[in-house]
Amino acid sequence: MNLQHPKLVRLLQLAYSAEKAAAFAYIGHAGSVRNPEEKTAIRQIELDEWQHRETVLSIMQQYDIPISRYFEIKYHVLGRIISASCYLIGWFMPYYFAGRLESGNVCEYFIMMRYFNELGITRHDDVLYEMGIKEKEHEVYFQKGLQNNRLLPLFEKIFGWGNKHSSNDIDLDQKASVEGSKNYCKHRK
């Protein structure tokens, strides 16, 4: 079955490749931190990203969606550059930009769910919900690690993410059901 939804096809291809970039980045991030608990947590986030990539590929294969060679090359290189830079730029920036990136990634999965639902397809709702919530958990992990850092207010003002701003509208303390989550991320198309 081919999907007649170009935005959904592109978003799946993008998510598949971007998950590799994120996983590569977390390899460098985990390698650059000294605290053993932080290292373990970041390695788990890396594993989550690889799992998301496998899940997205499985969905793509059900609809004969090809992997984008362009996205694969672009995000492979980007992930490797970010991974290497973690050893050079100190502690704060990898945490900050990982949190900001995860904040935006949350909505990808809820938007995918909406796009599938526009086509009358609901069988992926549970797994897309789980991946979106997991991305939110990643965002919260990084945000909590930074919440008292003196640089956060400046970065939040410049880049629009931090203690007061997020790229999504999900509250883990009051998360909606799968059905209710279809109202998440309405601000993003």
C-alpha neighbours within 13 Å on the C-beta side of residue 163:
10
In a domain, 20, yes or no: yes
What predicted TM-score, i.e. pTM, was given to this entire model? 0.93
Residue 26 lies in a domain: yes
Terminal CA-CA length for the chain: 24
Task: Flag whether 1 is in a domain.
Answer: no
Look at residue 56 in the predicted model and tell me its pLDDT: 99
Domain region containing 93: 6-183
Per-residue pLDDT of 48-71, as tens digits, reads 999 999 999 999 999 999 999 999
pLDDT in tens, 97-122: 999 989 989 999 999 999 999 999 99
Check residue 186 and give its pLDDT: 83
Instruction: Please tell me the predicted confidence (pLDDT) of residue 63.
Output: 97
d(CA 77, CA 107): 24
Report yes or no on 40 lying in a domain: yes
Classify residue 189: in a domain, yes or no.
no
Residue 188 lies in a domain: no
- pLDDT for residue 189 is more than 70: no
Tell me the CATH number at 11. Answer: 1.20.1260.10
In a domain, 111, yes or no: yes
| Statement: residue 86 has pLDDT above 80 | yes
Please count the structural domains in the chain. 1
Residue 155 lies in a domain: yes
pLDDT score at 121: 97
d(CA 149, CA 21): 26
